[in-house]
Amino acid sequence: MKKWAILLVTAFLVISVVAACSPSSQTKSTTSQEKLKPKTITWGTMVPGTNTYIWTTAWANVINKYGGLDISVQPNADASLNFKLFKSKEILISNTAHLEGWAAYSGLYPEAYPEAQPIRLVASGTPMKFSFMSVDPKIKTIPDLKGKRLYGKQVPPGVSLILPVRAALEAYGLKETDVEILPRVTHPETVRGLIEGKGDAWFDAATPSLDELRRSKPFTPLPIEPAKAKIIADKIPGVIPDVWPTGLYGTTTDTPIIAQVFAIYAHQDLDDSIVYTMLKTMYDHYDELGQIHPALKDWSKNNALRLVTIPVHSGAIKYYKEQGLWTSDIEAKNKKLLDEEPKLKKS
């Protein structure tokens, strides 16, 4: 019996060692610690003619020139498509509204994101103005949109248009079915649709594409009164009340609207040194970036943590700590987000 016992113990130990050294076991133990260090880092953004494309190309040029990285700008029809490519690692960085980032991270909006994406916040930046814009002189207020055609949902599906549209319509006593909501594929295509009379109005960001629109068809931003804007902001992460100022794309009066705070996101497994170098280079050359586009002046390091809706990338945390920007309040908020993440992803 002793001999058999010794043989059984020996066999058990051999099997345990083999199992521990097997490829599947090694993969399981190291996958969560692996970091992405690609030679070329793909930064997803929107198409030419949008502010985000202008910003991204400016950042990429400066980071490549001074930071020694190789960032490739990948324009896609919409930011929602960029986020859908994070899991496959085809896109490793993107910039868009906090609302879109939150939806991609959380997976709480299956209509747009059937599964949660592995992203982390890198930096917050400028609030971009969003408005309902009418090319029909008879449409002067949001209630006037009843029975009209509004470009207001992204293709591929996203949330940074349709959720504010739904909230705004509701704030003014309208149902989503009261308006024919048309798909917006790209800004240039939507402009052509408005010029050709295929739509009556548009909800979107104030972007350079509006210059083309106003040359062919004058448009008017529809007011969202501050009280209504607050109702919308209370429902949607990253939305704040704002004003469309006189002169912006040829407008003739100040108009209350909403804005969405934009941010830069990175794949959660992108190497810390890459994210750190990105941030350091961007902020070291902040003045140069501000000369390329006025809105880039609002992408300062002092605004980088103005809004934190998902956990911050560890490479970014290292930079913010060095700069004295990582406060105890932000640390507590980030820890809470990390603690809640497993439950959020499971739901």
pTM of the model: 0.87
- List the one residue out of 98, 95, 155, 104 whose CA is nearest residue 293: 95
DSSP letter at 240? E
pLDDT value of residue 343: 74
Six token digits for residue 97? 């509204």
Which CA distances in Å does 176 have to 203, 233, 289, 326?
13, 18, 40, 41
pLDDT for the residue 347? 52
Strand ranges, E, within the chain: 41-45, 71-75, 93-97, 119-134, 149-154, 180-184, 201-205, 220-222, 239-244, 255-267
Q: What is the pLDDT of residue 10?
A: 41
Burial of 73 (0-12, 13-18, 19+ CB in 10 A): middle
DSSP 36: B
Positions in the chain whose pLDDT score sits under 70: 1-33, 345-347
- Per-residue confidence (pLDDT) for residue 29, from 0 to 100: 30
* Superfamily, domain 129-261: Periplasmic binding protein-like II (3.40.190.10)
**What's the confidence (pLDDT) of residue 26?**
30
Taking a C-beta distance cutoff of 8 angstroms, is the pair 136, 146 a contact? Answer: no
Q: What is the residue extent of each domain of the chain?
A: 36-127+262-346, 129-261
pLDDT of residue 18: 36
Q: How far apart are CA 304 and CA 208, in angstroms?
A: 24
Q: What CATH code would you report for 36-127+262-346?
A: 3.40.190.10
Helices and strands in the chain, H and E counts: 13, 10
| Fold: same for 36-127+262-346 and 129-261 | yes
**Which helix (H) or strand (E) element contains residue 281?**
helix 272-284
- Please tell me the distance from the alpha carbon of residue 315 to that of residue 224, in angstroms, as a whole number: 39
